[in-house]
Chain A
Amino acid sequence: MKKKPIEGTQGLIAGKKRQGKSFFVKKELIPRLKEVKPVVVLDRKHEYAGRNKVDSCSSWNVFKSSKEFFNSAIESGKISGVNIVLCNSDIDYNLAINFIKKLEKPISLIIDEAWDIYISPEFKRARSAAVGLARFGATFGIDSIMITQRTMDVPKDIRTQFDWLISFRQGGKGDTDAIEEMGFDNGESARDLGKREKVLFSYLPDFLDIPDGEFKTINR
């Protein structure tokens, strides 16, 4: 049954390296998102187009740059399914994010290694575009899902924008403080999580319907 697209949500998936963030996104999140809206993943380290592939990824479209993705969308007149866009520069990120923003149509945008955009001076334009999308994208049904290593890397002025957070093991007090600033009930320290353990703060949109499994759900 085709589900009705709902308004966009802002999500954050945070955790140190090798905690299972991208595996979770590939195996659990993307297959559910794609049933509702086209999915675009901005992939910095070829994490989605290259290694650690999952079974369902054979049908994913892979683009070598945002320009290639853009040209393909214009030529075909549509965006569908799962689209992995390799982004290696500020220009790549900026073009892809602005393209999606200007479309003003329901899309799930996943930005991998978002911490890079947030804190690296080399990604000034991309950061500006991402912050703008986080603020206004939901109006048009655009999901903005950031994957980052630490919650403290998220700029303070957009911390309250997130509807949900999935936290894997993180760095330390700065991260738990940031979780509290986001308005989530940080009753359980992210530091105390074991490897590949996850804690879900607040709610996931109903259409995602991800079973609790090994999650520890904490409501906002």
Chain B
Amino acid sequence: MAEIKVPKSMADQLENDFAVDEDKSGGVASQIAVASLESNVSLLAEIAQEWANREGLPGFSKLGPENYSKITSRWLEKRFPMLVSDKSIDATFITATVAILGLNLMELNEKNKVKEPGPDEKETD
């Protein structure tokens, strides 16, 4: 089996490569790009789901569905300005992503509503 030696000094040489700024999106940006290029709707939905979980749903559950598209548009623009401004990325992707994010949020919002105790239940407690 072939083998090469790795000098310890490589650690210093590559210090700058370690020091590069971390991907602030936690990899979501690249996942979205891949999913959109592959027109992989289910993957986009998964990403949206992951994002929603990460961002925390309680804040969104207080808002009506009519706001979801605005929220996700703003979110995309803020987090991934490159995606929004890059002409090589089809506008359909942005629209689809926003729609899927919105749909996922709506669905999750519904689930949250089921879990939350109603006013009557609170009274009985």
Contacts and interface: CB of A to CB of B under 8 A. Distances in A.
A77 B13 contact: no
Interface string A21-48: 0000000000000111110000000000
Contact of B86 (A34, A70, A102, A121): A121
Given A89-B27, A90-B30, A102-B13, A78 B20 contact: no
Nearest to A125: B20
A99 B2 contact: no
A158 interface: no
B27 A99 contact: no
Contacts of A94: 17, 20
Interface in A99-140: 99, 102-103, 105-107, 113, 116, 119-123, 125
Nearest to A153: B37
Interface residues on A, range: 35 or more
Interface string B16-54: 011010110001011001100100000000000000000
Given A102-B13, A121-B82, A121-B86, A88 B2 contact: no
Given A77-B6, A103-B6, A119 B30 contact: no
A77 B5 contact: yes
Given A35-B2, A94-B17, A95-B18, A88 B27 contact: yes
A121 B23 CA distance: 13
A157 to B, nearest CB: 17
A63 B6 CA distance: 17
A211 to B, nearest CB: 22
A196 interface: no
Interface string A165-178: 00000000000000
A38 B10 contact: no
A98 B15 CA distance: 11
Nearest to A5: B2
17 contacts: A38-B2, A73-B6, A74-B8, A74-B10, A74-B11, A78-B3, A79-B3, A79-B4, A81-B1, A90-B23, A102-B14, A103-B6, A106-B2, A116-B33, A119-B37, A122-B33, A122-B82
Given A79-B4, A98-B17, 9 more contacts: A80-B4, A81-B1, A89-B23, A89-B30, A99-B14, A105-B4, A116-B37, A120-B34, A122-B30
